[in-house]
A and B are shown apart, each in its own frame.
Chain A
Amino acid sequence: MKSAGLAPKQSFVDTILDIRGLSKTYPGRGNAPPVTALDNVDLQIRKGEIFALLGPNGAGKTTLIGAVCGMVRPTGGSVSAFGHDMAKDWRRMRSRIGLVPQELSVDIFEKVHRSVAYSRGLFGKPADPARIEEVLRTLSLWDKRDSQLRALSGGMKRRVLIAKALAHDPDLLFLDEPTAGVDVELRRDMWQTIGRLREQGVTVILTTHYIEEAEEMADRVGVISKGRILLVDDKHEMMKRLGRTEASFTLAAPLDSLPAALADYPVTLEEGGRSIVFRGGDGSGLGKKQVAEIARILVNGGIEFDGIDQHESSLEDIFVRLVDEKGAKAA
């Protein structure tokens, strides 16, 4: 449908997954009270992006994925993907989604090759040995194709789970903590694999505890805590908006008050006048510039200092701050 003049920046065509008002309350078992794992979640995922869902343990990440992929029955809200509504068109919707679960849940007596081929068939795709070989080769599993899964290491098992999820060529891939318990080298490998998938046009939604991972790979980041989405933003935007530079000048001699020349800068005098601490910037480099200016002002003003400790806040700091602040507000 064409709408003359009114061209929304984010057209619906670009939204590959549309989650609205999604809620999930697990009934309490025995004496346990019910747990609200998802609380009115709205989330739109764009076609072709890598979206990282960050959140502490128990935030509801796995539940969110489960609700979209069919392991969890939502207690409210709606989900649609590729324009198919999950309530009505779940078959067509599911056939294009791949899932790598958080747990290493596999039939350990099955052989790698067979397990991956099974996944393709289960999703209704005709057998395609060449495609299976390709998937196994990309994930360096080809040599292990005849091994039983129980003979593989944990990291290798996770690769098999990825291979299984890719076997039916999904357009949307969920990775629930793809690099949990994976060593550094394998993690780099995994990032490359995910990068390649993006190049092929696959939309990826991943959850992770490693902020490094979100920083490295994601286009957009969503922060979830206690079942609520606290923030969704472009990664760079978020860093810019919430990023901070912190710099501490250790002074040679304590000061009684801040020099007047620093009045315009976000600085405080700390440790009984022994250090000047700068907290500011916006993640775009402004902070660094200002720290340099402050250094110059101190030198020109004859205030001696022995050292500068400078630190750019990472996504991790932002995340911790967000969860603390907003979490406290919500409670």
Chain B
Amino acid sequence: MSFNLTSAFTIYRAELLRFLRTAFGSLVSPVLTTCLYFIVFGAAIGGRMNEVGGVPYGAFIVPGLLLLTMLSESTSNASFGIYMPRFTGSIYELLSAPVGVAETLFGYVGAAVTKSLILAAIILLTATLFVDFHIAHPVAAFFFILLVASAFSLLGFILGLWADGFEKLQMVPLLLLTPLTFLGGTFYSIDMLAEPWRTVALFNPIVYLVSGLRWTFYGQADVSIAVATGLTLLFLTICIVIIGTIFQTGWRLRE
């Protein structure tokens, strides 16, 4: 299999520039939302809450809130990136170029991941304004965030190929990811749930992500970091296989 580095970087750069063109809008809204969560749940209510497993409540919710934004932003950024050229028809250029699935993914998904990492950094910086927290395993945290951003950018890419309208584009982040993240232990430890809800929660894949990230932050979590990483990797692999198949069959790309 060949890989054209120039083509891949060209797409990557163009996508990132497109992001910077609208950087203000793309960053302000998620950052503002996160601030509101910190003010309400971290500072205002958090002060009256007990520690969770020895972590102050304000700090406890940081990984979950970070994921809340990351999941929906990664997904929607990547889906938008590939949906727009399909929508305007300018995708003809990509299709007529000597560019395969690898370059396309590197460019579009790579750019979406980069945006998510920038966003994550900004959100964490913002969080320090509201709560005190200390990241126990920063390197692991970085790689876990990278992994999650990649997996959900890939999911977004699939979404952008599948969608045939703007509503569908927003449906998955809004109707699926956000509720699952809310219920996935962002604001509580699932150990705090009574049965059968605790067992039900274990079927929510986001629980493992929140838990995994929380482990990299505070060294403790509901499920083991190995399980969380394994599941995320599995998810990422499935996405790549799906995208590979899409490119091979040309579904939604070629008439």
Report B28-55 CB contacts with A as 1/0, cut-off 8 Å. 0000000000000000000000000000
Report A115-143 CB contacts with B as 1/0, cut-off 8 Å. 00011011111100000000000000000
| Interface membership of A241, Cβ < 8 A | no
Q: Which of A69, A109, A119, A121 contacts B9 (CB 8 A)?
A: A121
Q: How many residues of A contact B (CB 8 A)?
A: 32
Instruction: Say whether A94 contacts B10, CB under 8 Å.
Output: no
Instruction: Say whether B94 contacts A122, CB under 8 Å.
Output: yes
Query: What are 21 A-B contacts with C-beta separation under 8 Å?
Result: A69-B95, A69-B96, A70-B95, A71-B95, A72-B254, A94-B96, A94-B97, A95-B97, A99-B96, A101-B92, A106-B90, A107-B85, A109-B21, A118-B14, A121-B7, A121-B9, A122-B97, A122-B99, A124-B4, A124-B98, A124-B99
| Interface membership of A92, Cβ < 8 A | yes
Chain A residues positioned under 8 Å from B250 (CB to CB): 73
| B89 (CB) vs chain A CBs: closest residue | A105
| B85 (CB) vs chain A CBs: closest residue | A107
| A103 (CB) vs chain B CBs: closest residue | B89
Question: Which residues of B are interface residues toward A (Cβ below 8 A)?
Answer: 2, 4, 6-7, 9-11, 13-14, 17-18, 21, 84-85, 88-100, 250, 254-255
Query: Chain B's interface: helix, strand, loop or mixed, by majority?
Result: helix
Q: Given contacts A114-B17, A122-B7, A126-B6, could you give 4 more A-B pairs where the C-beta distance is less than 8 Å?
A: A118-B10, A119-B93, A122-B10, A124-B98
Instruction: Say whether B88 contacts A105, CB under 8 Å.
Output: yes
| Interface membership of A305, Cβ < 8 A | no
| Interface membership of A191, Cβ < 8 A | no
Q: When A94-B96, A94-B98, A122-B99 are in contact, do A106 and B88 touch as well, CB less than 8 Å?
A: yes
Chain B residues positioned under 8 Å from A124 (CB to CB): 4, 6-7, 97-99
Instruction: Say whether B92 contacts A71, CB under 8 Å.
Output: yes
Q: When A26-B255, A164-B93 are in contact, do A91 and B88 touch as well, CB less than 8 Å?
A: no
Report A7-37 CB contacts with B as 1/0, cut-off 8 Å. 0000000000000000000100000000000
